[in-house]
Chain A
Amino acid sequence: AQKITQTQPGMFVQEKEAVTLDCTYDTSDQSYGLFWYKQPSSGEMIFLIYQGSYDEQNATEGRYSLNFQKARKSANLVISASQLGDSAMYFCAMRETRAGGTSYGKLTFGQGTILTVHP
């Protein structure tokens, strides 16, 4: 069974500094996808970044980058140059990629990390 672990319930960062949000995962699949979502206080889920298990390069999207260490089963999110608008809950999620079966395509989420950016 899949499992996603986010060990940091809350993180604080100063505006304009970088912050790393931790995520470790457990799966027996060889092929899988890792996602990070942001959830502001409004409740909507905003997709940030994706990393495929076979991708050799770490994913980057603007100020977001994913530090993917496959052997350690970690997929940490790095936010550079933090902004006040980055204050939100952040979720790491994993998607099974086995073809067929009832679990195809489902996302498993971690418990989330609340990020607070101080001015």
Chain B
Amino acid sequence: DGGITQSPKYLFRKEGQNVTLSCEQNLNHDAMYWYRQDPGQGLRLIYYSQIVNDFQKGDIAEGYSVSREKKESFPLTVTSAQKNPTAFYLCASSLRGTSYEQYFGPGTRLTVT
């Protein structure tokens, strides 16, 4: 089945530790995205990538880093510099083009204490 996988579903970390969230897609999509969702809120864009080896900052990139070494993979690292990292993180992918919808993964719920 084609789709987007994110693992793990739930992740717990101590404050001050970096943590990497995985996102893999087998939809052959060029574009991939990372969003953050806080309780009762909409999604905010962290980073996005339109093509391998290239990515752009979104609206709330501070404290996060990404890489795009392979078309299928777009891991997100939440660094210790992120002041409030506890949130629900969603990865998405799409074909390149203005009318194509983004397909979302199941999300990772990160809790930092």
Please give me the 7 A-B residue pairs with the lowest Cβ-Cβ distance, nearest first. Answer: A97-B98, A45-B104, A109-B42, A47-B101, A109-B43, A43-B107, A111-B42
Encoded as 1 (CB less than 8 Å from any A CB) or 0, chain B from 23 to 45 comes to 00000000101010000111111
Knowing A102-B56, A109-B43, the reply to whether A42 touches B98 (Cβ < 8 A) is no
A-B contact pairs, 19 of them (CB 8 A): A4-B42, A31-B98, A32-B98, A43-B88, A43-B90, A43-B107, A43-B109, A45-B90, A47-B103, A50-B99, A52-B98, A105-B50, A106-B33, A107-B43, A107-B45, A108-B45, A109-B35, A109-B44, A110-B42
Q: How many A-B residue pairs have CB under 8 A?
A: 63
Known: A33-B98, A33-B99, A105-B31. A112 touches B106 (CB 8 A): no
B74 within 8 A of A: no
* 18 extra interface residue pairs, beta carbon distance < 8 Å, beyond A43-B90, A44-B106, A45-B92: A31-B98, A33-B98, A35-B101, A37-B104, A44-B107, A45-B104, A47-B101, A47-B103, A50-B99, A52-B98, A91-B43, A93-B43, A105-B31, A105-B98, A106-B33, A107-B43, A111-B42, A112-B42
